[in-house]
Amino acid sequence: MTEATPAPLRVGLLGYGIAGRVFHAPLIAATPGLSLHAVVTRDPQRREQVRREHPDARLVDDASLLWRSPEALDLVVVATPNKQHVPMARAAVAAGLAVVVDKPLAATAAQGRALVDEATGRGVPLTVFQNRRWDGDFLTARRLLDEGALGRVTRFESRFERWRPAIKPGWRESGTAAEAGGALYDLGAHLVDQAVQLFGPVRSIYAEVDRRRPGARVDDDAFVALTHANGVRSHLWTSAVAAQLGPRLRILGDRAAYTTYGLDPQEAALREGVRPGAPGWGEVPPERYGTLGVDGDLRPVRTEPGRYQSFYRRVVAALRDGTPLPVDPSDAADTVALIELAHRSAAQGAVLPVPSPPAG
């Protein structure tokens, strides 16, 4: 007698902007064991998009309606503007619902850690959507480091740069640091997370954070230098005013270097309506492979296929089988702490020590 397939976990998605529509909803729909059950949005245009793209999902005007009937859901995904991440996640935790929060977890490390403590105290699973841990170039870099292909690493360079000289409307360009707005909280959250994942704890930080475009209300150009406890120095850039883009990743070791250009293709594919499982998902063509070696002796290295789908598959496994969640939320709180320190360093023009995270 075969074992019955468990019913899909019912997901409530809060927000249907870029994060909700481009990333979370398609990935949820493509993940076995998940069902997009409800979407919270008041915007008429976005409600019509939900009806068209996910016709089986129930439309909800206000998240408070979800908390009144928590038994109707198994998981809540918070894809709202950043300033709402903590209050919405706290409400889900109070309702006893497992939570995925889009990055950044919070505007301050104190808020993030309090949320983590509250979820832990209530026994509610909480994780953070640091999807770029599953970028193909990052996965390739991790593999090369594990293989020792670069020798002893001395420097890591990482960039998320764009050319957007005109300010776009929306909260991402208008929220203050207190609301987790600006480039450093947005793409910087990925840069810092990836650096720490690859090279471990940070002992000092220096940053330059600027508003370069006329009328900019939040930072649109930032550089962060991290000195890791193991001696590696990470140099991280995020910018909306890069007319020529630098390498996406460059890792320098005493045996070889690895350099790659261009963004992981998964975001562009999701924007075009392609989902995981489609032919060529997450793959970059050979002409875009990064190179390994020293000048005069370089060879292309196949880029690992990106796999954003791994995040939600691990969420399903964690909720069903008790395996670890895909991202420890304490890591995300530590990332916010580094972003806060980066803003402070930029304001003071100083290198600042990084305190050890509070004991768990």
What total number of domains does the chain contain?
2
pLDDT of residue 169: 76
Q: Are residues 246 and 299 in the same domain?
A: yes
pLDDT at 130 over 80: yes
Residues 110 and 177 in one domain: no
In a domain, 334, yes or no: no
Segment 305-323 shows an average pLDDT of 98
CATH code for the domain in which residue 102 is found = 3.40.50.720
Verify that 243 and 346 share a domain, yes or no: yes
Residues 108 and 126 in one domain: yes
Q: 302 with 191, same domain?
A: yes
% pLDDT > 90, the chain: 92
Indicate whether 332 belongs to any domain: no
* Two tokens, residue 131: 């999807």
Q: Are residues 191 and 303 in the same domain?
A: yes
With cut-offs at 50, 70 and 90, classify the pLDDT of residue 176.
low
Domain limits for position 51: 9-131+311-325
What average pLDDT does range 85-93 have in this prediction? Answer: 98
Whether 318 and 222 map to the same domain: the answer is no
Is the pLDDT at 171 greater than 80, yes or no?
no
Higher confidence at residue 180 or residue 252? 252
Same domain? 64 vs 102: yes
Decide if 47 is inside a domain.
yes
What are the φ/ψ torsions at residue 42 (nearest 5 degrees)?
A: -100, -20
Q: Are residues 238 and 119 part of one domain?
A: no
CATH number assigned to the domain comprising residue 348? 3.30.360.10
Q: Coil, strand or helix: which one is 8?
A: coil
DSSP states of 82-103? GGGHHHHHHHHHHTT-EEEEES
- Looking at the domain assignment, is residue 265 inside a domain? yes
Is residue 331 situated within a structural domain? Answer: no
Same domain membership, residue 280 and residue 174: yes
**What are the tens digits of pLDDT across the range 217-253?**
899 999 999 999 999 999 999 999 999 999 999 999 9
Residue 4 forms part of a structural domain = no
